Amino acid sequence: MFAALRKHRGYVKFRRNRAAMVALVIIALYAALAGWVIFCESVRWAGRQTGLWSVSNQSVLGLLTAESVSQPIGADSEAGLFLSQSEVRRVDQVDYYLKRLTTALDAAERREVASPGEGRTAFPEFALGAREIADRPPAELRARLDAVRPLSDELTALKLRRIRIANLTGVIDRIPAAQQGLNALGESATEPDRTRARNALGDMVEDAGFAIQDLADSAPADDPLKALDPLPLLDAGEAIRSGKPDAMPAPELLANARAAAQASMQRVADGFSKVLPQLESAVLELMPMPTGLAGLSHDIQMLLGTDRAGRSILMRGLYSAKTAIQVGVVVALAAVLIGTLFGAAAGYFGGWTDQAVIWLYSTLSSLPQLVLLAVLAFMFLGSRFDGTLIPIYVALTLTFWIGTARVIRGEVLKIKELEYVQAGKAIGFSRFYILLRHIIPNTSHLMFIQFSLLFIGAVKTEVILTFLGLGIKDGASWGKMISDSQPEVINGFFWQIGAATVLMLVLVLAFNVLSDALQDAFDPKHVG
């Protein structure tokens, strides 16, 4: 088959296609990555089975394993490319590290750990990848943590105040719209509708007054909110609910309240700028960055930041390439083999064999593919195969063979009338021998084209099924990364969905280019 393929005139044309050669290089890199991941997983499995070694703490072999990509290596949603982040994110990340350190030291005290070496082995679960707690006695670490406790308390107070000021600003901004809605009610509006609108507006105005009062009580003497009098807003809110919409506070009062809230928020931001560097320095002292090969490994892991669970986005994206390659190869290979056998048999034997194959793939084609895939995948829910790749293999293979069967059947209908097939029959070769030895090998160019097309479809469909919750439950997959990134996108964090999308786009685009090149070179409809 391969010798005949190399002699094909389309082979020379394919080799001259530069875009196809670049696509082959990209696909080879993805395949090499998948092979490396499989090798690392095999080494890890062999070490666990024999008990002779462990790759968990290895900077190279332990970098791309299912265990490492599921472990946190940093705080929640750290930005990639070592870019600076907003103070809001930095505050949350410092708070995360301080809480983790506190929990670790509490565990050390419960276990009566005295020496630093013993402490690190006593609770390795608190290490973030290669980043471990400082090699110092727990008592010394506790003293340093207690020394920055006032700064941590101040940070917590600033976080709470920031939220409360943001809520106040939101209420003030909604008041004019609520007032316009009340004024827009026409004469046809019922009295209950007017009452509900008045009560909603009155509640907003009164909430703004209470928020200013609460913030002013806890604010320093020079805080802008301290100078505001909340009574006009409280009185206006009560009057509006009593049926006096003319008691609406003056626009100048709302504008002054909003300006004071913004000025107070700026004071909070200044407080963050003062406290954050000191706490970040303390965190770096208590949990220093690794150095040497471990430090390089940690920097690579942090290259695209972390997800909401603190896991490396880059490592999860690269590990997911193995899942994509694995699904694409297995499904495309199985579907091409099944489709070739069914299509060749239908085209060559004809009769009831042809009718049965046509009825089978026509029936399956009449059903919406995504619905059929979801039903087939849903059949495995609750079984021991649930959450594995087995349901995906079965679901995709049982649907993807249809296109190959149609293409191969049409080609075999043409080939079986050629002279060399008729000569084989005249010599006395059996029908099965002719089919397997002469007809199917001459459809190899179509098999390669179908393989590249089905590979793309398998990768994209696995991502869709996993995104819908019908694919991989545990482990890493581009579909799972996209699904997990939904809350992050809402908060303006695009690193995870961006990494998964780009990695999938490059692979699919490379196979698209390869498929087009194969069709141009080998498909009789395209060969010139």
Mean pLDDT of 312-334: 92
Of 336 and 466, more confident: 336
Amino acid at 483: S
| Distance in angstroms (rounded) separating the CA atoms of residues 255 and 199 | 22
pTM of the predicted protein model: 0.81
Token pair, residue 143, equals 């003293």
Question: Measuring CA to CA, how many Å separate 167 from each of 164, 258, 414?
Answer: 5, 11, 73
Choice among 89-103, 137-151, 425-439, 475-489 with the minimum mean pLDDT: 425-439
Q: Would you place residue 384 in the very low, low, confident or very high pLDDT band (cuts 50, 70, 90)?
A: confident
CB atoms within 10 A of CB 437: 12
Within 148-250, where are the H helices? 149-184, 191-218, 231-241
Give residue 371's pLDDT.
78
Q: Which among 158, 160, 285, 168 is positioned nearest to 225, based on CA atoms?
A: 168
Contact 289, 295 (CB under 8 A): yes
Token pair, residue 370, equals 């995504």
Domain ranges of the chain: 2-40+311-522, 86-295
Of 370 and 74, more confident: 74
Give residue 502's pLDDT.
94
Model pLDDT for residues 256-302, shown as the tens digit of each residue: 888 988 998 888 888 888 888 999 898 898 888 888 888 888 888 88
Q: Would you place residue 506 in the very low, low, confident or very high pLDDT band (cuts 50, 70, 90)?
A: very high
Strands annotated E in 281-352: none
Give residue 317's pLDDT.
92
Cα of 314 vs its chain's centroid, Å = 11
Give residue 115's pLDDT.
55
CATH number for domain 2-40+311-522, candidates 1.10.3720.10, 3.40.50.720, 1.10.8.100, 3.40.50.80: 1.10.3720.10
Evaluate the CA torsion angle 37, 42, 48, 54 in order and state its sign.
negative
Mean pLDDT of 452-458: 89
Mean pLDDT of 220-225: 82
Give residue 363's pLDDT.
84
Mean pLDDT of 498-512: 92
Q: Would you place residue 27 in the very low, low, confident or very high pLDDT band (cuts 50, 70, 90)?
A: very high
349 has a pLDDT exceeding 50:
yes
Mean pLDDT of 149-175: 88
Give residue 525's pLDDT.
56
224 has a pLDDT exceeding 80:
yes
Beta bridge partners of 128: 131
Give residue 486's pLDDT.
87
Q: Would you place residue 119 in the very low, low, confident or very high pLDDT band (cuts 50, 70, 90)?
A: very low
Beta bridge partners of 311: 72
CB atoms within 10 A of CB 12: 11
